[in-house]
Amino acid sequence: MKYIKRLEEVGIADVGTVGGKNASLGEMIRALSAKGVHVPSGFAITAEGYRYFVDTAGLDSQVRAILSDLDTHDMRELASRGAEIRALITSSPLPSALEGEILDAYRDMEALYGTRTDVAVRSSATAEDLPDASFAGQQDTYLNVRGHEELLKRVRECFASLFTNRAISYRVDKGFDHFDVNLSVGVQKMVRSDLACSGVMFSLDTESGFTDVVYLTGAYGLGENVVQGTVNPDQFYIFKPTLETGFRPIIEKRLGAKARKLVYRCGSTGTRQERVSSMDRHKFVLTDDEIITLAQWACLIEQHYDRPMDIEWAKDGVTNELFVVQARPETVHSRTNHAVLKSYVLEQPGRLLITGESVGTKIAGGPVHIISDASDIDSFEEGQVLVTNMTDPDWEPIMKIAGAIITNKGGRTCHAAIVSRELGVPCVIGTNTATKVLQGVKDVTIDCSEGSGKVYEGLLKFRVDEIGLEQVPQPRTAIMMNMGLPDEAFIRGQIPNNGVGLAREEFVINSYIGIHPLALLQYEELKERASQDRVAERIVHKIDNRTQGYDNKVAFFVDTLSMGIAKIGASFYPNDVIVRFSDFKTNEYANLIGGQLYEPVESNPMIGWRGASRYYDERFKPAFGLECQAIKRVRDEMGLTNIKVMVPFCRTPNEGRKVIEVMAEFGLVQGQNGLEVYMMCEVPSNVILADQFADVFDGFSIGSNDLTQLILGIDRDSDTLFKIADERDEAVKRTIRQVIEAAHTHNPRRKIGICGQAPSDFPEFAEFLVECGIDSMSLNADVVLKTRLDIARVEEELASE
């Protein structure tokens, strides 16, 4: 055949012949099928076939005449001329030679799969999926195409889609001549994901550019809903370094709304939308085994192409097989200058209006412009904040002039996210109600700098910090980071650092779980009481809402905590990440759902039942066991052995030994598989008996906040006394110097760091710690680089004295 190539016949070198999409499919079939990656078969109508059609129909000169003086920023003219060209192409007959070859190739597929077999007809431009320009979504795709007549019709429509409004505008912006970009059409056997699920995955994190994860999304039905942002999909992160060594590191699973699914039209061709049942919405679309398989495929595809990849996948509901149906180079972070770190910092507070998922890591502001329909886009002005339900490729001409974008719907692989990412425009997606909440609001500030998308009222001040990473020195003192929320970890982990000196479990428990662990352990008992006890009834109702998708409520706690810890551990791997066991006070635990049933009322919780004293107490021990299970899962099942643990508020060496014994009861054994157990040094007894504590623990981390209040006898929560609580007080400094010396003179020498606020707030205090010979400082992320530079200077000055 002159104008047809079977996908098995082409590879990546054939982009000029069959376009990027078809060339990539053929490349994967030929190179990766033997490694277990499944790709549906089919054929490609070559670019030569397209040119033959254009030349035979005399379209070249006619199209050039229509586009000769077009201003692509004039939305009305763009729409009018685009429609004229498309009508011209679809009304032109295919040459008989080309039509005959298309039908012969389709008959071959019918012989294999059955008469009127269902196929996808996809456009594949010859300039598509270049490393520096993504033409993805510029042309059309048609699903569930059956029979000769419809196939030929859809092929002509694919040819015409080379001249959609968005495609014309995009080529002009990227500097491509309209006839330098030819079109191939792929005809591929449909995967019956309308009976199962489908989605998109990237071999890096799409927002931070963190390269050590696979980011996977999925929803029920055909994949167009995920790609176009019609639904909020399930989301998963898988850590590549330990995945490739045989572990199962699913470090995040987030349930999406998945309200609709795209399915085959009953008894006909084409597709239709269908509502998803409440039961299915509260389930993940993929099993853990399927998540791992897809992630492994993403790694294989990335390794083969030697670059980050954007991949579409589908599951067949008849055979239950997984397939890759498309793969293209990722085009945003591959162009990023990784030698320079830009950090956006919001400098003033504001009234939070709405939240959603962040796209990118920037901050921007501007006047609000709400658009409900694409027909109104010509009213949009440069620099405005586009607010809409969701976008599709027809919106691209105004997206590129927007100051920021906010949508009700969509996940991180939807159209709005993909285009915003490529344009470098901050975007907040999946807010659900932005078009309502922002009615009447004049200006907003969009903050995507902290891992989630936030929209504030008014134009707030922000700054952009920029530093060349090759200029950052490595001081002798390890400069580590304090971490709370896992959502910030991928961004924070790329700041030059030596790991995490303090990862706070209570942040994960409070933000992502929100339920007292004993209420989950005793859920069945609460459920039995609920019919007669209004308090128990309310607690059960709240637990059920929080734990949707989990019949086993205890599993919800362990899964959520383990994934929160794992996300932080993966972000800083292989550097140490020291995770502090929960350090809630009784009043803080009581604020969790069900907490008031299990917590005593204390007059001074700050020095009450907290830290180590809870872990071996029979009243709380089962809850502590859940924390141990989570840590064990992260280390043993996910392979993140860089996770260490730390015990807070341990008053006596005997308490420390009890905690380590309880940990072992729950399978978390000190020294096993390299597990180190640290202790927070925050009680005066920790300093006085430092030599004895050093026989129990592997190292210390000074908690300067609590140590200061206990040395000076001050409740740091007191509004009256807080001004006296200063870590630079001489009594505090002498105590800190004493414990550093004790740790270093113990046999064997114990590591000692600090994770309090003081080095972040007071540069002179950081210098004092260097003079004392401290091993590490764990700081807030916003001062890590500055402190690293300051410490390197101080060390150099000390060395020269």
Tokens at 94, concatenated = 């295919």
The active-site residue, picked from 38, 369, 415, 516, is 415
SS3 710: helix
Contacts of 798 (CB under 8 A, 6+ apart): 770, 771
The single residue listed with the structure tokens 């405005």 is: 384
The beta-strand segments (E) located in 486-576 are 500-504
H or E segment and range at residue 504: strand 500-504
The single residue listed with the structure tokens 């001074």 is: 604
The beta-strand segments (E) located in 60-182 are 119-125, 141-145
Whether the link from the prior residue into 574 is cis, omega within 30° of 0, is yes
Q: What angle do CA 276, 281, 285 make, to 5 degrees?
A: 100
Contact 657, 265 (CB under 8 A): no
User: Measuring CA to CA, which residue among 249, 88, 796, 242 is closest to residue 477?
Assistant: 796
DSSP string, 387-419: EES---GGGHHHHTT-SEEEESS--TTSHHHHH
Q: Which residues pair with 481 in a beta bridge?
A: 500, 779
Contact 421, 331 (CB under 8 A): no
Mark whether 772 is an active-site residue.
no
H or E segment and range at residue 489: helix 489-492
The beta-strand segments (E) located in 648-801 are 677-681, 699-702, 751-754, 776-779
Mark whether 73 is an active-site residue.
no
DSSP string, 641-707: TTEEEEE-S--SHHHHHHHHHHHHHTT--TTGGG--EEEEE-SHHHHHTHHHHTTT-SEEEE-HHHH
CA distance to 523, 537, 540, per residue, from 533 (Å): 14, 6, 11
- The residue count for the chain: 801
| Residues annotated as catalytic (active site), given as ranges | 415, 755
